[in-house]
Amino acid sequence: MKTIKRDLILFLSITFVLSFAFEFYIIHKGGIRSWPQSTFFLMWIPGIVSILYRLISRCGFKDTGFKIGAFRYWFLAFAVPLFIALISNILCWGLGVNEFTSYPETILKKVGISSVGMLIAMKFPWWLLWGNINALGEELGWRGFLIPKLTQVNLKHPFFVSGLIWAAWHFPLIIWGDYATSDLPILSVLLFTVMIVCSGIFIAWLRMESGSVWVAMFYHACHNFFLQTAFAIFSKAGKYDPYLGNESGLFPCLIYIAVLLVGKQFIVNKRKISSPEFAI
């Protein structure tokens, strides 16, 4: 138990020191929108730290979760973020928060494609694949190292705690690095925290139930793709989109909470899965 606690403290300390140092360097360079490629390097810091720590400390890779996982977990990893993004955007379009556009001319010109069908067929798979490559870095750290260790130390709500840790890791960029979804960084932090803690609980449950860090990687990539890219392409953002829509607006937060409540009721309670960590 003491060894696992030591592993957690060292992993988190090293990861946060290196990540925050790099985040403040990004801020110094003008923020994440001025240097979008920096997200790849940042997302791989937790993964690289976890790999090197396992090698140096000789704690091994047994609990990383390299098994493939059952199909139903891959389906949930795809369907849940798609559902959340779809409902959120339908609400935004229906309530006039955003304007739906069936022909995103600006994006089509930018990528050099003439039709929406070609955009979806050619670019969407590539963007999702690249999202998986990015997400794997974080998932090797957060769900491949952090989650198994938190559950091994008998923490009461390890999934919730891991979500808070994951949220805090983003804070410098949200507050100072142009990653905020609105012009009110503190509000963005609060909404983002709710969204990512809810997301973190579900993705941690998927990781532990499936035994697969690959499923967690796929969920993370699908979340980013559907909530940040796929639907945004067909939306003309309105005045209140930063507060209601987007990745961490009020609508996605509320839908995530609803999904967790339903999931806790029907997945955990009905099937009687031994998942005391699935706590909200």
pLDDT above 70 (res 201): yes
Residue 24 DSSP SS3: helix
Residue 268: the pLDDT is: 57
pLDDT above 80 (res 117): yes
CA-nearest of 214, 197, 215, 198 to 206 is 215
Residue 51: the pLDDT is: 98
User: Quick one: average pLDDT of 132-148?
Assistant: 97
User: Where does the pLDDT of residue 214 fall: very low under 50, low under 70, confident under 90, or very high at 90 and above?
Assistant: very high
Q: What is the biggest distance separating any 2 CA atoms in the chain, rounded to whole angstroms?
A: 60
Q: Which helix (H) or strand (E) holds 237?
A: strand 235-237
Q: pLDDT tens digits for 227-269?
A: 999 999 999 989 999 999 988 899 999 999 999 988 877 665 5
Residue 140: the pLDDT is: 98
Structure tokens at 242: 């930063």
**Of the ranges 97-111, 135-149, 265-279, the best mean pLDDT one:** 135-149
Number of Cβ atoms within 10 Å of the Cβ of 183: 9
Q: What is the pTM of this model?
A: 0.92
- Partnered with residue 212 across adjacent β-strands are 66
Rounded to 5, what percent of the chain is helix, strand, coil? 75, 5, 25
pLDDT above 70 (res 79): yes
The four Cα atoms 117, 122, 123, 125 give a dihedral, to 10 degrees, of 110
Q: Are 219 and 166 in contact (CB under 8 A)?
A: no
Surface-to-core class of residue 139, CB atoms within 10 Å of its CB (0-12 exposed, 13-18 middle, 19+ buried): buried
Q: pLDDT tens digits for 39-77?
A: 999 999 999 999 999 999 999 999 999 999 999 999 999
Residue 177 DSSP SS3: coil
Q: Are 157 and 277 in contact (CB under 8 A)?
A: yes
Backbone angles phi, psi at 234, to 5 degrees: -100, 20
pLDDT above 50 (res 273): no
> In whole angstroms, what is the distance from residue 186 CA to residue 175 CA?
7
Arithmetic mean of pLDDT over the chain: 91
Structure tokens at 121: 């067929």
The four Cα atoms 47, 50, 54, 56 give a dihedral, to 10 degrees, of 100
Please name the residues in contact with 230: beta carbons below 8 A apart, sequence gap of 6 or more.
Answer: 85, 124
